[in-house]
Each structure stands twice: as C-alpha cells, then as structure tokens.
Amino acid sequence: MPTEVALLESRALRGEQMGRVDVLDKVKSLVMLPDGIHVRTEDVARYFEVSTEAVKKVTQRHRAEVVENGLILLRGAELQLFHRDMLSLWGREAREVRESYPQAATQLTLYTRRTVLNIAMLLRDSDIARCVRTYLLDAEESLREQYASLDQRVTRIESCLSGVGSALQELGPVLVRMSERFDSLDRKVEMTHQVLGAMSLRLTDVQQDVVRLDGRLDCFARQLRDLRRRTGPRGQHGRNGQG
C-alpha cells in the first residue's frame, strides 16, 4: 500500500488517484463557480485553509502536471467572455454577489475538481489536504482488500471446478453406457410400436371378417325361418294322415 509520502513524491501514484474527485466533498464542501465546473485560486486556498501564495507556489512548481489535470489560464477575449458567462449564470436576483465578483483585468487562473484533487496530493502544509490524502489511501486499501477477497473466492471456485472436472471425467463412460442403453431401448420401443401397428391392422381384418360372418349368419337364420314357414303346414298334414 502506498504511503502519504509516496503520494507526495510520485507523480505516477498521483495519476492513479485522479479519478477520485468525490473524496473532496467527503472532507469538506468545495464551493464552485456558477458553471459548476471551475474554481479560482482564492477558492482553492479557502478550501485548503492556506494562503493563495501557497496554492500559487504548488501550481508553479508542478505546472505541467496541474495543466494536464485541468488548470487553465484565461486572458483577453476568453477572459471577458468567461466573466459575462459567470455574471449571466448568477442572474439578476444575486446582484450583490455579482457586484462582488472580482473581474481580473488581465488574466484568471481556473481549477477543476480534478485539478483541486491534484493540489491536495501536492500541498504539504494543509490539514485539509492531509485528510484528502488519508481518504484516498484508506479507499485504496479497502479496494485492495476487496480484490484480495475476490481473488480468494475465485481461487475456491477454481478448486471446486477442478474437482467437478475430474468427477465429470469419471462420469463420462457411465454416461456413454447409459446413452447406448437408451438407444437400445428406443429401438425396442420402435419395434414394439411396429408390432402393435401390425396387430392393429390384423385386428381390423378380423373385425371385418366377424362382420361378414355375422351377416352370413343373419342371412342363414332368415332362410331357416322362411323354410320353417313354408314346410310347417305340410308337415302338420302328414302327421295327421298317418293317425
């Protein structure tokens, strides 16, 4: 874990922390200009509770780094346009604030939240800056612990998956045999369906034969009844003559 001294001395370490601008408001409220993006040198000094000269010295000593992280210097037409924009954003209701807003005659240095965070990692003689650095380092340590915990969990999962892999290898031949048995059973079921289909056709033929046989029996019964009716009286006369 990097120390506060390492953070003060190493530009690379500071660069790794530049996305953590949320830490500023956790330590102290940073009052922005009406555009919600910029603050002036005196605003930065007020935030860190140091003189404007202290902020200017740090800025001059690390000029390239703070410029890379959002520091801008306005002059001429750009400066006049910026003043008009700020006064417009304050609106007519905030007349007193507008009148007290200092309009630099020649130039104006502006800082973004990212630049202020950069100053917090460079400014040595400020309790507020130290608190910001402490928050950054504590957050990094917490993040490292989370990563370590996640790494342990991933390691346990990998060990479990290793056991699952060996179990699946042992289970493979069993699954192959079961698949072969299921294929054999499917073939037997298919043959059974074919036999049942043939039996169903045969039973249909038998039913038709039975229907035809019933028709022939009915016809024979009718013929027999007709024969009895025709031979009945003559048979009766023959018996009477013999008596």
Predicted local distance difference test score (pLDDT) of residue 53 = 96
Total-model pTM: 0.56
- What's the mean pLDDT in 64-79? 94
HEC sequence for 51-118: CHHHHHHHHHHCHHHHHHCCCEEEEHHHHHHHHHHHHHHHCHHHHHHHHHCCCCCCEEEEECHHHHHH
Predicted local distance difference test score (pLDDT) of residue 147 = 46
- Residues 6 or more apart whose CB falls under 8 angstroms from that of 131 comprise 27, 28
Domain extents in the chain:
4-149
Distance CA 103, CA 101 (A): 6
Comparing 242 with 181, the larger pLDDT belongs to 181
Q: How confident is the model at residue 203 (pLDDT cuts 50, 70, 90)?
A: confident
Evaluate if residue 151 carries a pLDDT over 60: no
- What's the mean pLDDT in 155-162? 64
- At residue 111, φ and ψ (nearest 5 deg) are -120, 145
pLDDT, tens digit, 9 for 90 and up, residues 129-143: 999 999 998 876 655
User: Is residue 11 a contact partner of residue 121, using CB atoms and an 8 Å limit?
Assistant: no
Comparing 156 with 70, the larger pLDDT belongs to 70
- What's the mean pLDDT in 207-230? 81
- Residues 6 or more apart whose CB falls under 8 angstroms from that of 8 comprise 121, 122, 124, 133
Q: How confident is the model at residue 156 (pLDDT cuts 50, 70, 90)?
A: low
Rounded mean pLDDT of the chain? 81
